[in-house]
Structure 1
Amino acid sequence: MFIRNERSVKEFIQLYPAVAWLVIIQLVLWLLTGFLQTPLGNWIREWGMGVNFYISQGEYWRLITAIFFHAGLMHVLFNSFALVLFGPALEQMLGKMKFITAFLGAGLIGNLATFLLGPTLYSHVGASGAIYGLFGIYAFMIAFRKHLIDPSSTQIVTIILVIGLIMTFLRSGINIYAHVFGFIGGFALAPLLLNNVRPYSPRLGRQYVDDGSIQFDPDRWQKKQRNKKVFQRGLWIILGILVILGLFSRIL
């Protein structure tokens, strides 16, 4: 489910438009507000970032807009990487509208918890709560919809979720409320969102040429073994990248 094998960026955008556009939006906003730092970009950031005091004054849109802003390069890259890795399978299973509802709904719940439980002057940005909401949906599958997720993907989700939660409480500068309640929000929304969905299929939506002939592959077993090894290497690469990004995000 999580090893990306699309042939091009164009194909990825065609197959998973919601994930693609969410990533594009947050990268463009970072370019405007974090890299270029133009007056317009600074105004947009001040208008959209989450600030509990301003929310208490009636600026409730910040509960949503704060999801798309990020604190730095590593922050936006980490969240974009996580969204590209774990979003496509859910978008295919749920559909575009349900996926966007899940993403924004979990992010909203995380930011609402930040507002209700955090200090009055607390400010925050980032899609981490929404992404933890996606993990919440996967966790619900593991617990109650096992037919929707394969054992290998279950292991990946479990390992990365444990690592993510440990880092949430060990690293400084993390919005713990958004992470924890974003996850809870995704888990709570999952029963509604997962009605009548089918397991992820990497072939869905792709075009294949069939010449009508019956073919037999004598190397089928060897290919399965090679694919298993590639999968295992991919898992360790993913974990390594996550750890490295986490370490760098403490420095940069």
Structure 2
Amino acid sequence: MENSYAAVASEKEDSQLLGILEEHVAYEPEAILAVIAEIEKRNLQAPNLEQIKQDTLQNLLQREQQLNPEPIGPASLTDKFKDFWGFFVPKRHYFVTPILVNTNIVIFVLLALAGMHVLSPEGEDLVNAGANFGPYTLTGEPWRLFTSMFLHIGIIHLLVNMYALVSIGGALEPLVGRKQFITAYILCGLAGSLASLWWDQQRISAGASGAIFGMFGMFMTMVLLEQRMTWAEKKGMVFNMLGVIALNLVFGLKGGIDNAAHTGGLLLGIAYGAVLMLRSGRYFTQHYNLRGSIVTVALLLGAFVGLYLQIPTENARYLTMLDRFGERETKAMDVMKEMELDATLISGGKYLQGLEQGIALWDESIKDLITLQELSDLGEQQAKEVEILLSYTQLRKTSYTMMRDDIQSNKPWMHQKQQRVLWAIGTYVQELQALRGGEEHESKETESEIPVDVEVDKMETLDPDAKPLFVIDGEPLEQMNLNDVEEIIHPDDVESISVLKGEEAVAKYGEKAQNGVVEIISKQK
């Protein structure tokens, strides 16, 4: 109804609008308010405009009170329940807020029924549900900037946010209307998600807090800029909102709370409120030009896209690949756990399919880790971690391949060579743990125990038909294969082994090393 009044008023000539205003007592209050809004938008001069507006609002209020009189005396339990239930039921001037509240609650209940913990959800569950998480949001899943606005980290988080949303929505939505309220809510939520992503890509961020902070900032700004009210009328509301905002931001400093999202939403809300006041001539109104609204939203969304594209993604790609590496490793190691539980079935070939799947998973991780090595902006520790993981993964694949071949040939699979490979894998695990813990690790000792053939297997990225260059105690041995080398030096006499690839190998030994180099130092040397 209110939209039809506004549409009719927008089609009237200036003289017609002024004529209707002179005979305002003959029209419905909603029609007169639409006419007044159109007159204000056109900056027309009308006698007693403000007085007519106040009288019309008073008439409208009296009519509402007559239609819905307040109960006399103490409210009954039933009345209290109805008042509480009213927070969740859309009404004429309180329509979008309860829909947002109900949406957040329904999503939380559905996730709880699906198994998510209601008090302290696991980070993995939140990410799977659509939380904002840099390694995923920045590598092809930008929709998380939006979906994270409707997820909450526990029921306490949900209840606090919904109480705040009802409080600010009940005050702001009737002043700006449904369209501007929902538009501002979504834009402030997106701004909060972007700010969180800029500040910390490794944080799992979820919740409506950024959007809600934005609505508080928007309301405070509009009250400050509104020209009809005096400062005496404004200061109580302004100081109250400033106190709420400051208290929550200070509370968020203790940790575990995404203050970046709060700040991002707040700043966007302040800016958006200022824009609305400038568009309306510094009056509260529900009527805004559609073209102006489209332009405003388009400009903000364009700015969001630009900010999103400017966020550095190297670290996010690194974290994403590590996360996928962990998932593949868990799946690949399932067959090993089964073999440990029931070794009697190994000779029957029960685990061959699991080993084949494991080999394929290790292959995928090897490709990802090689891609990571090519990233130019990796930090020193990250590069070292990738190097260790690559060696670890290559050895895992070697171990699985030997197990598969031995089981297919009905040979004992836990032989000396397999034991040495598993021991070498363990040393890489120790080296990785030491690196992440900031400790020194003796990699020399690790290299000395790894068999020559295992190091050669790690060079599988080279041409499989090409032979690497073997160098024993500094002397290159061209056109030699592994069996020839083992005739020259026994594995027990090896002190250390290192592998050179690509440009590094060619730079040290020339073109003959283009297929890689295996440097062997004997204990005697």
What TM-score, normalized by structure 2, do the two folds share?
0.34
* Number of residues of Structure 1 aligned to a counterpart in Structure 2: 192
Instruction: Letter of the 1:152 partner, please give it.
Output: G
Structure 2 contact 133–205 (Cα < 8 Å) conserved: yes
**Structure index of larger Rg:** 2
Q: 2: distance between equivalents of 1:177 and 1:20?
A: 26
Shift of 1:155: 3.1
Structure 1 contact 23–80 (Cα < 8 Å) conserved: yes
Alignment partner, residue 133 of structure 2: 51
Alignment partner, residue 216 of structure 2: 135
Q: 1: distance between equivalents of 2:211 and 2:227?
A: 23
Structure 1 contact 51–122 (Cα < 8 Å) conserved: yes
Alignment partner, residue 26 of structure 1: 104
Structure 2 contact 195–261 (Cα < 8 Å) conserved: yes
Shift of 1:173: 0.6
Query: Does residue 268 of structure 2 align to residue 185 of structure 1?
Result: yes
Alignment partner, residue 432 of structure 2: none
Shift of 1:44: 8.6
Structure 2 contact 192–210 (Cα < 8 Å) conserved: yes
Query: Deviations along 1:77-116, whole A, 9 cap, x unmatched?
Result: 0000000011122111111111011111011011111122
Query: Does residue 123 of structure 2 align to residue 37 of structure 1?
Result: no
Query: Does residue 244 of structure 2 align to residue 166 of structure 1?
Result: no
Structure 2 contact 176–285 (Cα < 8 Å) conserved: no
Q: 1: distance between equivalents of 2:235 and 2:250?
A: 23
Task: Tell me the SS of whatever aligns to 2:90.
Answer: helix
Shift of 1:50: 1.0
CA RMSD of aligned residues (A): 2.8
Alignment partner, residue 152 of structure 1: 236
Q: 2: distance between equivalents of 1:101 and 1:134?
A: 11
Q: 2: distance between equivalents of 1:92 and 1:141?
A: 13
Q: 1: distance between equivalents of 2:107 and 2:251?
A: 26
Instruction: Letter of the 2:110 partner, please give it.
Output: L
Instruction: Letter of the 2:284 partner, please give it.
Output: R
Structure 2 contact 225–274 (Cα < 8 Å) conserved: no
Question: Comparing 66-75 with 43-52, which one deviates more in the overlay?
Answer: 43-52
Alignment partner, residue 203 of structure 2: 122
Alignment partner, residue 76 of structure 2: none
Picking from 56, 69, 73, the partner of 2:155 is 73
Instruction: Letter of the 2:105 partner, please give it.
Output: L
Query: Deviations along 1:108-156, whole A, 9 cap, x unmatched?
Result: 011111122213x321100001011012112313443364674432232
Q: 1: distance between equivalents of 2:211 and 2:165?
A: 9
1:95/1:80 CA distance change after superposition, 3 Å: same
Alignment partner, residue 284 of structure 2: 198
Shift of 1:22: 0.4
What TM-score, normalized by structure 1, do the two folds share?
0.68
Query: Deviations along 1:173-218, whole A, 9 cap, x unmatched?
Result: 1111101111001111112333335279xxxxxxxxxxxxxxxxxx
Q: 1: distance between equivalents of 2:157 and 2:284?
A: 32
Structure 1 contact 106–133 (Cα < 8 Å) conserved: yes
Shift of 1:55: 1.0
Unaligned runs of 5+ in 2: 1-69, 71-79, 117-123, 287-525
Task: Tell me the SS of whatever aligns to 1:71.
Answer: coil
Instruction: Letter of the 2:178 partner, please give it.
Output: K
Shift of 1:38: 4.1
Q: 2: distance between equivalents of 1:48 and 1:105?
A: 18
Alignment partner, residue 215 of structure 1: none
Picking from 79, 82, 90, the partner of 2:172 is 90
Alignment of 1:213-232 (within 5 A): none
1:58/1:193 CA distance change after superposition, 3 Å: farther
Structure 1 contact 147–199 (Cα < 8 Å) conserved: no
1:116/1:158 CA distance change after superposition, 3 Å: closer
Instruction: Letter of the 2:244 partner, please give it.
Output: I
Q: 2: distance between equivalents of 1:68 and 1:45?
A: 13
Picking from 191, 195, 199, the partner of 1:113 is 195
Instruction: Letter of the 2:220 partner, please give it.
Output: A
Question: Comparing 73-82 with 153-162, which one deviates more in the overlay?
Answer: 153-162
1:158/1:70 CA distance change after superposition, 3 Å: same
Task: Tell me the SS of whatever aligns to 1:198.
Answer: coil
Q: 1: distance between equivalents of 2:162 and 2:126?
A: 20
Task: Tell me the SS of whatever aligns to 2:140.
Answer: coil
Structure 2 contact 222–274 (Cα < 8 Å) conserved: no
Unaligned runs of 5+ in 1: 201-252
Task: Tell me the SS of whatever aligns to 1:13.
Answer: coil
Q: 2: distance between equivalents of 1:85 and 1:52?
A: 31
Structure 1 contact 53–122 (Cα < 8 Å) conserved: no
Task: Tell me the SS of whatever aligns to 2:103.
Answer: helix
Instruction: Letter of the 1:132 partner, please give it.
Output: F
Alignment partner, residue 95 of structure 2: 17
1:50/1:93 CA distance change after superposition, 3 Å: same
